[in-house]
Amino acid sequence: MSSAATAVSPATRLRDLKPDWLSDPKVWRTEVLAGLVVALALIPEAISFSIIAGVDPAIGLFASFTMAVTISVVGGRRAMISAATGAVALVIGPLNREHGFGYLVAAVILAGVIQIALGALGVAKLMRFVPRSVMVGFVNALAVLIFMAQVPEMHDVPWPVYPLIIGGLALMVFFPKITKVIPAPLVSIVILTVITLAAGIAVPTVGDKGALPSSLPVPGLPDVPFTMDTLTTIAPYALAMALVGLMESLMTAKLVDDITETHSSKTRESIGQGIANIVTGFLGGMGGCAMIGQTMINVKVSGARTRLSTFLAGSFLMVLCVVFGPVVSDIPMAALVAVMVMVSFATFDWHSIAPRTLRRMPAGEIAVMVITVACVVATSNLAIGVVVGSVTAMVIFARRVARLADVTAVTDPDGTTVVYSVTGELFFASSNELVGRFDYSGAPDRVVIDLTAAHVWDASSVAALDAVETRYQQRGKTVEIIGLNAPSALLHRRLTGELAAGH
Give the range among 305-309, 397-401, 478-482 with minimum mean pLDDT.
Answer: 397-401
Does residue 32 register a pLDDT over 70? yes
Neighbours of 139 (CB within 10 A): 23
pLDDT band at residue 424 using 50, 70 and 90 as cut-offs? confident
d(CA 400, CA 377): 28
- What is the β-pairing status of strands 289-290 and 82-83? antiparallel
Neighbours of 226 (CB within 10 A): 9
Q: Considering Cα of 45, then 51, then 53, then 57, what sign does the dihedral take?
A: positive
d(CA 468, CA 480): 11
Does residue 186 register a pLDDT over 50? yes
At 190, which helix (H) or strand (E)? Answer: helix 184-199
Q: What is the pLDDT of residues 295-354, one digit of tens each?
A: 988 998 888 999 999 999 999 999 999 988 888 889 898 988 888 888 788 878 888 888
Select the more confidently predicted residue: 276 or 210: 276
Rounded to a whole number, what is the distance in angstroms from the first to the last CA of the chain? Answer: 71
Average pLDDT over residues 97-113: 94
- b/e string for 349-375 if b means 16 or more Cβ within 10 A? beebeeeeeeeebeebbbbbbbbbbeb
Q: What is the pLDDT of residue 282?
A: 96
Does residue 197 register a pLDDT over 90? yes
Q: What is the mean pLDDT of the chain?
A: 85
Q: What is the pLDDT of residue 23?
A: 64
Answer whether 241's CB lies under 8 Å from 95's CB. no
Q: Which segments within 58-177 are labelled E, that is strand?
A: 82-83
- b/e string for 99-119 if b means 16 or more Cβ within 10 A? bebbbbbbbbbbbbbbbbebb
- The residue type found at 450 is D
Highest mean pLDDT: which of 54-63, 157-166, 214-223, 465-474? 157-166
Tell me the sheet residues that pair with 422.
407
Average pLDDT over residues 414-436: 81
Answer whether 34's CB lies under 8 Å from 300's CB. no
d(CA 192, CA 197): 9
Q: What is the pLDDT of residues 351-364, one digit of tens each?
A: 888 888 888 888 88
Does residue 14 register a pLDDT over 60? no
Highest mean pLDDT: which of 81-95, 104-118, 433-447? 104-118
Highest mean pLDDT: which of 260-274, 323-337, 383-397? 260-274
Average pLDDT over residues 229-248: 90
Answer whether 281's CB lies under 8 Å from 92's CB. no
Q: Considering Cα of 378, then 379, then 383, then 388, what sign does the dihedral take?
A: negative
Does residue 7 register a pLDDT over 60? no
Task: Give the total residue count for the chain.
Answer: 503
Q: Is the pTM of this model over 0.75?
A: no
d(CA 9, CA 121): 39
Q: What is the pLDDT of residues 70-79, one digit of tens each?
A: 999 999 999 9
Q: What is the pLDDT of residue 404?
A: 65
Does residue 123 register a pLDDT over 60? yes
